[in-house]
Amino acid sequence: MGGSSSSEQVEETETPSFFTQEELNKLKSDFETGGLEKVKPLIQKKITDLDKTELNIAVTGESGTGKSTFINAMRGLRNTDPGAAKSGTIETTKEPIGYSHPTLPNVRYWDLPGIGSPEFQAARYLTEMKFKRFDFFIIISTFRFKENDLNLAKEIKRLGKKFYFVRSKIDVDLDSMRKEKKVVNEEEELEKIRIDCVTRLAAKGIPDPTVFLISSFEPDHFDFIRLNEGLEGDLNNVKKRIFVLALPNLSVEVVQKKNKILKKHIWMFATLSGGLGAVPFPGFSLACDIGILIGAIVYFRKCLDLDDASLQRLANRAGKPVEKLKATIKAPLLGEMTPDAIMRLGWGAAAVTVSALEFALDFVPVLGSIFGAGSSFLMTYKILSAALKDLTDIAGRVMKVAFETD
């Protein structure tokens, strides 16, 4: 009995914290009966579950101010894309409508009903909209902000949450000016609009307001990128990471920010791999490592807008054939990720060398467990670091092809 207890104690100590003992037993059983294909779903689910923090962003303003188009732009969608928020000038709902990010569903943008009623009361409105669930509010207006916008901002501030003033459809204003004048100094005209908005808000009791001038149809122009930087800067570390990963690739800087965040994820994947590598069961660690690599690379591709759906949305936005964008991506990193695809990558040889030695040592329980944990961690870390570097470079090239930037 004593020997049995000692064995159980060792096994529990070696169990990776990412898995319960029941899950680990199921992984081992599934591997025995079905190999890699049978254990892969649970491993990939664990990878997906590593970050379940939600981010809820409220977008409010009168009907016709461009709330839906803004929500779509923040999600990298056009108004005509599947899953896009419906746009129009008529307010059709009295309830908030949530729109999930197309690849990171824990990020949601909420279209709140218009606030133009004469009987509007900010406190009651926020209660009805379930104020507490939102991380911050974006108050959108065209031309100038109304009394209701100001009352709402004051109430949001009183309740301790962040809000941002966004002046939308700035491209329409400039187009109107060009029809009236032969030459328009865009920079000067934008500054005049900004000063007018800030002065009026300050006069109504909003001290030192910041106003972002945007066009949701031109997210790479005006203050759209500056708005995203402002939102990012006011979030805590966890939610900041989620927000940045959910941003459409509007600039090379955004791609690099995503790269920096995903580098930290590599430690999580490598730790998961190292923990499973400590399980002394022939072939088990190699199978799990490949499952982790597949799940991680698929996740990286989604965050960097390199999955098929994201590439199609980008092609639509840029007015380019999706095939032209895909031509910049190496074949092994395009399409479905499989064990064969992992092995075809340039990093496959190193993976096989390390795992072959690991497989042999699995038959020696103590030595196999020690080497398994260390080699799995190192192999996964090196492979994913190389994969992330390649994918980041590809994302930059895809952007240049899409928008013909230098």
Average pLDDT, rounded, for the chain = 80
Say if residue 88's pLDDT is above 80.
Answer: no
3-state secondary structure string across 301-340: HHHCCCCHHHHHHHHHHHCCCHHHHHCCCCHHHCCCCCHH
Please give the structure tokens belonging to residue 305: 């807008």
Say if residue 102's pLDDT is above 60.
Answer: yes
**DSSP assignment of 98-110:** EEE-SS-TTEEEE
Provide the pLDDT confidence category of residue 92 given band limits of 50, 70 and 90.
Answer: low
Say if residue 106's pLDDT is above 70.
Answer: yes
Any residues with CB less than 8 A from the CB of 81 and at least 6 apart, and which? 72, 313, 316
Percent of the chain having pLDDT more than 90?
Answer: 34
Please give the structure tokens belonging to residue 190: 């934008």
Q: Can you tell me the distance from the alpha carbon of 177 to that of 197, in angstroms, rounded to the nearest whole number?
A: 18
Rounded alpha-carbon distances, angstroms, from residue 297 to 43, 47, 336, 342, 383:
13, 11, 10, 10, 10
Please give the structure tokens belonging to residue 297: 């690379």
Contact between 380 and 289 under an 8 Å Cβ cutoff? The reply is: yes
H helices of 75-169, in order, are 122-128, 147-158
Mean pLDDT in residue range 99-118: 86
Place of tokens 């060009």: 178
Percent of the chain having pLDDT more than 70?
Answer: 76
Contact between 174 and 189 under an 8 Å Cβ cutoff? The reply is: yes
Provide the pLDDT confidence category of residue 181 given band limits of 50, 70 and 90.
Answer: confident
Domains and CATH numbers, the chain: 2-49+251-403 (no CATH), 55-246 (3.40.50.300)
Of 304, 239, 305, 292, nearest to 266 by C-alpha is 292
Place of tokens 């961690």: 377
Q: How many Å from the N-terminal Cα to the C-terminal Cα in the chain?
A: 71
For residue 11, the model assigns a pLDDT of 34
pLDDT in tens, 275-314: 666 555 555 566 677 788 888 888 999 999 998 899 999 9
For residue 264, the model assigns a pLDDT of 84
